[in-house]
Amino acid sequence: MTEAEIIKTVNSFLVEEFEVDENKIKPGSNLRDTLELDSLDYVDLVVVIESNFGFKVKGEDFTTIHTFQDFYNYCYAKVKEKEIA
Amino acid sequence: MNRVVITGIGTWSCLGKTLDEVKNSLFTGKSGIILDQSRKEMGYRSGLTGYVERPQLKGLLDRRQRAGMAEPAEYAYMATIEALKVAGIEQDFIDQNEVGIIYGNDSVAGATIEANDIVRAKKDTTLLGSGPIFQTMNCTATMNLSTIFKLKGINYTLGAACASGSHSIGMGYLMIKWGLQQQVICGGTQETNNYTFGAFDGLSAFSVRENEPAKASRPFDKGRDGLIPSGGAATVILESLESAQKRGANILAEVIGYGFSSNGDHISNSSVDGQTRSLSMAIREANIDAKEVDYINAHATSTPGGDKVEAQALSHIFGEYKTPVSSTKSMTGHECWMAGASEIVYSTLMMQNDFIAPNINFETPDEDSEKLNIIAETKEAKLNTILSNSFGFGGTNSTLIIKKFA
């Protein structure tokens, strides 16, 4: 997957599953605040990532993800890691 | 002690999704039963079921609110928003009062099986997401509704098999009567998915009159061959008279009696003694004479054994008065955990609109039902006092009596 495809997929499932207004998704915006994520929502985020990209996020990984761009980068790196493996 | 009144009713059932639709179905004797081929393919002996549409909650509730709701909670939500609207209770009032909820439910088989299917496939519980824990508990309806409506009063689910809905109203009634609560959302909900009724079907308890779905549920009729499972939800808003009058609420009826008993006997067989004790207690507690009851909404589910026992119990108490009797399950099928609450909703609609809903498909009485005054065709009647029976596995019996408010 290209980085553009990752971004498109992420935005698509965030709009669909988390019902966020697509216009609010900006690379520099804070992921948690924009999506209004609580602790339960992170559990659901793990599920949608697994079903879309086939890898499972470790809970501690979320501590390094602040912005949407961080999230895209994280997903891209994990997908590449999986493709190489 | 407080007088307890009904100020709101709502339902989501195979007879309709609004009170108006349900009233029309009851008046015209319309059946809500269909043959569901998918049940046959799954191995059910009978594919008959009440057809209940799954509510679409997207747009009504946000993602977090919906995530933990299983089918029983969805039905209960739809019934409850209608009941609160009828009662004229808005969120502001709920925020400023300790409104409670006691709701009948006794299964969440669908959500439980679906969640475990995911675990079996993924071999990882963390891939279930956050929803299933709140979906798979029996209290899914009260858990979700109390959160959505931000309720601050009593909050629990009542499980008593097919008497769950009736007992929930009974317990809400007692809470208010004794001054512990001023407003309680009561009701019952019943899932209808294909995972729910397999074990019940396995007892050969369901009708197999599959070529005539609308004629399959025939309580008290000699040709009955079993019940038809059904579901949905029904909500009854109970309130102290003082609270209702203070709000200027439209009072739909008064709950005047709640009787209960346990058979102390077989796990699935009905008992004349147990039912008679429940009926007698309700009448005694309502402080009325049996002859004052204008209409009996029977539990009768269309099973050969169950209807026979109820006919005997009713005959024992009401035989000499020829009190009109009908079972609305002839149209709805057996709404199980929901039934006791929905039948109070149906009875209240009859009381408000001056008619007795028919016991459709009652064509030939048997030796027990011939002693009852069973109403087979819609009858116009002024109903002042109505008695509603609900009985469940384990020998749990519940009887409610409601009266036109004066």
Q: Where are the domains of chain B?
A: 4-247, 257-403
Pairing of strands B232-240, B183-190: antiparallel
Average pLDDT of the residues of chain A: 94
- Of the residues B14, B139, B162, B186, only one is catalytic, namely B162
**A47–B129 C-beta distance less than 8 A:** yes
Closest CA to B192 of B25, B43, B10, B12: B12
A16: chain B residues, CB-CB within 8 Å? none
Query: What dihedral do alpha carbons B338, B339, B345, B346 form, nearest 10°?
Result: 140
Residue A63 structural domain: 3-84
Per-residue pLDDT band for B406 (boundaries 50, 70, 90) equals: confident
Q: What chain B residue is nearest to A40 in terms of C-alpha separation?
A: B130
Give B178-235 pLDDT, tens digit per residue.
999 999 999 999 999 999 999 999 999 999 999 999 999 999 999 999 999 999 999 9
**Would you list the DSSP string of A16-64?**
HHH---GGG--TTSBHHHHHT--HHHHHHHHHHHHHHHS----GGGGGG
Structurally, chain A folds into a number of domains equal to 1
Residue A85 pLDDT > 80 = no
CA B259 to chain centre: 16
Residue B316 pLDDT > 80 = yes
- Of the residues B14, B186, B334, B336, only one is catalytic, namely B334
Nearest to A50 among B62, B127, B131 (CB): B127
Per-residue pLDDT band for B36 (boundaries 50, 70, 90) equals: very high
Per-residue pLDDT band for A83 (boundaries 50, 70, 90) equals: confident
Q: Of A18, A47, A50, A58, which to mutate for an interface test with B (greatest number of B Cβ within 10 Å)?
A: A47
What are B's interface residues with A at a Cβ cutoff of 8 A? 62-64, 67, 124, 126-131
Domains B4-247 and B257-403 share a fold: yes
**Secondary structure (3-state) at B374:** strand
CATH number, domain at A36? 1.10.1200.10
Distance between CA atoms of A24 and A3, rounded to whole angstroms?
Answer: 20
Q: How many CB atoms lie within 10 A of CB B110?
A: 19
Nearest to A44 among B62, B67, B124 (CB): B67
Instruction: Please state the φ and ψ torsions of residue B33, each to the nearest 5 degrees.
Output: -95, 140
Range B257-403 classified under CATH 3.40.109.10: no
Angle at B82 between CA B77 and CA B83, to 5 degrees: 95
Give the pTM.
0.97
Query: What dihedral do alpha carbons B397, B182, B157, B278 form, nearest 10°?
Result: 0
B124: chain A residues, CB-CB within 8 Å? 56
Question: B4-247 — its CATH code?
Answer: 3.40.47.10
**B62–A19 C-beta distance less than 8 A:** yes
Distance between CA atoms of B385 and B324, rounded to whole angstroms?
Answer: 11
Give B326-369 pLDDT, tens digit per residue.
999 999 999 999 999 999 999 999 999 999 999 999 999 999 99
